[in-house]
Structures are given as structure tokens and as C-alpha cells.
Structure 1
Amino acid sequence: MRRLFIIFALIFSTGRAFAQQTQPVIAFASDTQEPMWVEKLLLKSNHNQKATEMIFKDVNTLRPAGMFILGDVVSLGYKTKKWARIDSYLKQCTDDCIPVYATLGNHEVMLNAGRGTKNFQTRFPMYNPAGYTEVIDSVAVVLLNSNFAKMTTAQILAQDNWYSTTIKKLDADAAIKFVIVGCHHSPYTNSKIVKPSMEVRQNFLPAFINSKKCVLFLSGHSHNFERFNMQGKTFMVIGGGGGLHQPLYANAVTPDLSANYKPMFHYLEVRRNNDSLQLVSRQLNTDFKGFTDGAVFTVK
């Protein structure tokens, strides 16, 4: 009888694990750019290009239903040659039937915003300057442009109006269970190199906070993993895609809920689990021999 019980327990646990694995995976990364020489004057490099290559390879093994890059895909968007490595990674994703979506970072519009944006849209033709949405397994991902200094007043207003209307529509759509909002600049970060974006707080957070379905706000720009809870909502910085690691303030005003979890290179794996989202931070091991599940979180 005991042996029969064990067999049934094994069948049940295996079936449950299989059910979790079959839930569509959504991958998020940010700041996959090759370090610039001027950045290396301030920050220490550590096989950064290799880390980016390994992140894309690990994502490919997951076969996600979609991959989202939150800006700074390359170091200088206007230079075509800077896209060579990323182009090869994107081609592999295409060959593996993995759609890749992205939004602009500051490096895409650096020095020559027009040419940088053109190069960006060549790789990501679904990108819309006023923001756009992709839905995967009842999870809506809203991507926004946070390069306010490079935008006209009319462009900012158009995005704000689209964003507000979109969040209301998603809240009213019974087919949507969760909404994830993403942009490049972080509304909250303790980085010593980049500051929190007041514009993101002012333009993007009110609709996010007031939404009943918005549960996760993702950003990069700060080359770290950071996690905050503000007004009952989860904010994560996932800028570990390959950029130079940035130091953090030890005694920051904004408390980091993941103060003891600081992988150098990482990306985020998201799965819907009924009435919650399971978030797994996939971290590159320090010996560069593979990835492990560094931290697991649940949001609802």
C-alpha cells in the first residue's frame, strides 16, 4: 500500500511540474549593449560581450513565447556595425521561432537619434514611438519610450494619451489577467551612476498604480538587479544584460527588497500561474559556465 502511495505521489508531482513547464514563458532583458571605452574608465569590465551572448543562448533554450529587451540593445544605435553581434543573436531567435520585442534606450538615440531610431526599427519593425502592446497567454506587455529629452512635447503627449487609454482598455478586457509595463529608464534605482527618472514617475506611474491589472513595472538603465515595492506595486530593475555593472548606494532612501541579491549578469523569466505571475531571475554563474535560478518571486 505504501509503495502504491509513493507511485501516485510521484505521478502527481511529475504532472504538476510538467504543467508548470508547459505554461508559456516570457523573457525580459535589458542593457545588452557592448561597453563603450569611456565607460571602462569608470567601471570594471568582466567578459561583458560573452555574458550577453550566453544570455541569448540561455533564453533560446527556454523557447519563450516572446523575449522583450528594455532598451540599450547596443552601445551606439546609429552605427550599423554596432548591431553586428546582436543581429546574429536576433537571427538565432528568429530561426528558433522566438519573437523579440524591444523599446528604445538612451544608447539607441545617442549622438544621432534619427539614424539610431531607424536602425532600431529595422530590427524591431513592430516598435511604435507612441508605445505598443503585445499579449502572451493573457499577459499584456506594454512597452514605452522613456527618452523624454529626445522627444517633442507633441510626442510625449501622444504617448501619454495612448498609454492612459490602453491601460483602461486592458483593465476592461476580460481576456487580460495581468499587465506588465516596461521602459528603459528606472523610476526607482539606487545606482551611483544613473539617477531615478522623475519623468517616468510623472508620466507612467499614475496609470500603472491606479490600474487593477498592472502588477509589474520593469526597467533597466541601472546595470543591476533591484526590487522595490511602492504603493503595493512591484518594480524591478533588470539591467544585467551585459553592460558594465554599476555600484549602488549602501544606505539608500528607497529600500531595495533584493539588497542581498546582486548578480552581475541576469535576465528575467516570467510565467503565469493561475492568479499570479511567477518571476525567476536567471543569473549567470560567476565562472561563466551556465545559469541558475538566482531568485524566485511571485506577484499578483
Structure 2
Amino acid sequence: MYLKLIIFCMLNLQGGFLNSQPTEKPILFEQPVQPNDSTLIAFASDTQAPMWVETLWLKANNNRQATRDIFSDIGSRRPGSLFLLGDVVNLGYSNRQWKPIDNYLNELRSRKIDVYAILGNHEVMGFSKKGQAKFQARFPEHKRTGYLQVRDSVAIVLLNSNFNSLTPSEDSEQVNWYKSTLQQLDADSSIQYIITTCHHSPYTNSKIVGPSTAVQNRFVNPFLVSKKSKLFLSGHCHGFEHYNIKGKDFMVIGGGGGLHQPLRQDGNCLPDLCKNYKPLFHYLTVRRSSEGLQVTSYELKKDFSNFDVGLQFDIQNPNKPSVQYAKTVVREPQLVD
């Protein structure tokens, strides 16, 4: 009851100390050396600033600076597109919380980097309709029952896992749309790979949020059945996790700036392929080539000086022979077929 009272106060004092926010400096990108790379796609999740109530049990660590650095580094790499997997801000209805994110989005879009997003739970927290309206104004391509973006020969499916904010008919509409879309993409010769995204992770060892059985029940089986579906990305858990389920890759990439969450390490844990790679702040890129997809996790150094390649692996095109990419760094085992 006490915790609920704290959260209620937090949601209604958006202009007070609970969500106080320092003035954000604009991102200063280096001059571009080359145009955007249409074969490079960036993904980040949970870029929201910490809430005061969260710091009662989770440790802060220059989180706002980390978010700024992530957007800056993504911009410097010049991907063709960036996809944000929810919890872009900590309160979707708050103009104050959108202000720094607006600066980052404007900087990226000024460099012709397309930015898309899906709703997280923080966008629908408190005053849900107001939060969703502000979100929609910034991401007009977004559809609350799922939408599709195709980059080169890679299809990115963006789903809404805030099922409590959907009506029963919208819930069914999205599931049916997802299944139908996967079938169409599988039959489309111009599409080589499908990446599915949603905010809530179907698989996670987080002590704070736990795996979403609702996502498992709605989205996982169609993904596993789809022959071109290769990668399932999500956030919500503020950490990095990598699971291989029936030969396909599920990754949790919630390292965009939210407070880092501890993971369970007991005997009942899911088998995380990256149990030794646990960066505080990170984002992901996927690069398409004729041989396959190269997946790279960039981690922010502990001294906040720059980003390193923390993890890299290849998802091979089954129609092409195996190939080794240059400068590949893998800190964890390759995928288990």
C-alpha cells in the first residue's frame, strides 16, 4: 500500500522533485564521413530517465548521460534506421520528460536517420490516452495493433505488448495481423529476414519484471513457425540477455538508460547465452549482407569515455556458405543450432 501511494504521488507531481530534470546539452555529432548505411539497422530500448521511486531499490549511475551518449553514438554510426522498443520516456504524458528525447530525435532525423518506436508500459502509465497521443505525435507511422517496416530485404515487425491497454477486439486483431503478416513475408521473395520486436520480453531472468507469458502465448509460436523469422528483440528488463529457443534467437536489449536490473542466478534460470556479458548501458545494430545478418551489441565503457563492441555474432543465410566477418569479437559462444 505504501509503495502504491508513492507511485501515485510520483505520477501526479510531474513538475516537482520526483521528476526533476537538468538542462540537457544538445548532441554534437562529428561531421559525417559518408552517407547513411541502408544495410545497418540500430535498435535500443528503455531510454527513459530514472524515476525517484525506482531508486529506492535500484542504483542510479549517470543514467541520463548514458542515454545521451547512446543517441550520440548511434548518430555517429549513420544507420539507415533506428527502432526504439518502448519506454522511450518515463512518463508518456509529461512534456518535461519528452524534451530531451525530442532533441535527440530531431538530431537523428536531421541526419536523415529514420526513427520508429513501439509503446512501452511507461508511455501508457498514469494518463494513458494523453501519453499515447504524445507518443503518436512523435512517431506518426506507429499503429497500436502492430505495424511493419521493411529495410532493404529485412522486415521489422513492431508489436504492442501493452495488452491491458488494448480492447479484446484490438488484441485479437493484432495477433491475427501478426500471423498473416509473417505468412505474407515468408512468401515474399524480396524479403530475406524477419525481425520481430515488442517491449515486454517473453524470456528474461530479471528479478524485477519477469518473463511475459502473455507475449509467449501471442507472439512466440508464430515467430518460431515462420521460416524467415530469425531474431526476436525486446526490452522492459533493463539488461542484456540472449536466449536460443528452438534454434532461434531472442535478445533482451533494455540498456538505453533505465536503472539496471539484477538477474536471477539460481538453478531455475533460463539458459542465458551471454551470462558473462552484462553491460550497464548498450544498444544493438543489425547489418545485412549477402551472407547473413551480423548482430552487434555496443556497450558504453564504465568511465563513459566511448563505446566498445561487447558482443558480435552472425545469423547465417541458409542459402549461402558460412563466412567469417572482419574484426568479429565474440565474448560468448556462437548460437546453438
Same fold (TM over 0.5): yes
Alignment of 1:87-166 (within 5 A): 87-166=102-181
AA at the equivalent of 2:260: H
In the alignment, the residues of structure 1 paired with residue 117 and residue 74 of structure 2 have an alpha-carbon distance, to the nearest angstrom, of 15
Kept in 1, the 8 Å contact 2:185–2:191? The answer is yes
Q: Does 1:176 align with 2:191?
A: yes
Matches within 5 A, 1:146-295: 146-251=161-266, 252-295=268-311
In the alignment, the residues of structure 1 paired with residue 38 and residue 167 of structure 2 have an alpha-carbon distance, to the nearest angstrom, of 41
**AA matched with 1:60:** G
CA deviation after TM superposition for structure 1 residue 253, in Å: 2.7
Q: Which amino acid aligns with 2:295?
A: L
Query: 2:32 corresponds to which residue?
Result: none
The Cα shift of 1:69 comes to: 0.3
CA drift of 1:297 comes to 1.3
Counterpart selection for 2:96 from 73, 81, 85 = 81
Higher helix proportion: 1
Q: Contact 1:23–1:272 (CA<8 Å) still a contact in 2?
A: no
Structure 2 contact 37–78 (Cα < 8 Å) conserved: no
Distance (whole Å) between structure 2 residues aligned to residue 290 and residue 153 of structure 1? 46
When normalised by structure 2's length, the TM-score is 0.82
Cα distance, 1:22 vs structure 2 = 5.8
Q: Which residue matches 1:46?
A: 61
Structure 1 counterpart of 2:238, one-letter code:
H
Q: Distance in 2 between matches of 1:227 and 1:279?
A: 12
Counterparts of 2:291 and 2:172, CA distance in 1: 34
Contact 1:178 1:214 in 2 (8 A): yes
CA contact (8 A) 1:279 1:297 kept: yes
Change (3 A) 1:38 1:294: same
Structure 2 gaps of 5+ residues are 1-35, 317-337
Q: CA RMSD in A?
A: 1.1
The whole-number CA distance in structure 2 between the counterparts of 1:257 and 1:274 is 26
Post-superposition CA distance 1:6-64 (Å, at most 9, x none)? xxxxxxxxxxxxxxx96621000000000000001110000000000000000001111
In 2, Cα distance between the equivalents of 1:31 and 1:116? 16
Displacement of 1:232 in angstroms is: 0.9
Using the TM superposition, give the Cα deviation of residue 160 of structure 1 relative to its aligned residue in structure 2, in angstroms.
0.7
Give the unaligned 5+ runs of structure 1: 1-20
SS of corresponding position for 2:303: coil
Judge which range, 50-59 or 150-159, deviates more. Answer: 150-159
Secondary structure of the corresponding residue to residue 24 of structure 1: strand
What is the CA–CA distance in structure 2 between the aligned matches of 1:113 and 1:275, rounded to whole Å? 44
- Shift, 1:275, TM fit: 3.4
Counterpart CA distance in 2 for 1:38 and 1:276 is 43
1:28 aligns with 2:43: yes
Letter in 2 for 1:96: R
Identity, in percent, stands at 54
- In 1, the alpha carbon distance for the partners of 2:269 and 2:254 equals 20
After TM superposition, the runs of 4+ consecutive aligned structure 1 residues lying more than 4 A away are none
Which AA in structure 2 matches 1:133? Answer: L
Measure the CA separation in 1 of the matches of 2:57 and 2:223: 35
* Count, aligned residues: 280
Q: Which amino acid aligns with 1:287?
A: D
Tell me by how many angstroms 1:174 deviates.
0.3
Structure 2: distance between partners of 1:299 and 1:79 = 40
SS at match of 2:119: coil
CA distance in 2, matches of 1:77, 1:23: 30
Find the counterpart in structure 2 of residue 296 from structure 1: 312
Q: Distance in 2 between matches of 1:121 and 1:47?
A: 28
Q: Deviations over 1:140-169 (max 9, x none)?
A: 000000001221111101101111111111
Of structures 1 and 2, the one with the larger relative CO (CA 8 A, separation 6+) is 1
C-alpha offsets along residues 211-238 of structure 1, whole Å, 9 cap, x if unaligned? 0000000000000000000111100000
- The answer on whether the counterparts of 1:27 and 1:59 sit within 8 Å (CA) in structure 2 is yes
Worse-matched range after superposition: 267-276 or 279-288: 267-276
Q: Is the 8 A contact 1:234 1:299 kept in 2?
A: no
1:58 maps to a residue whose letter is: D
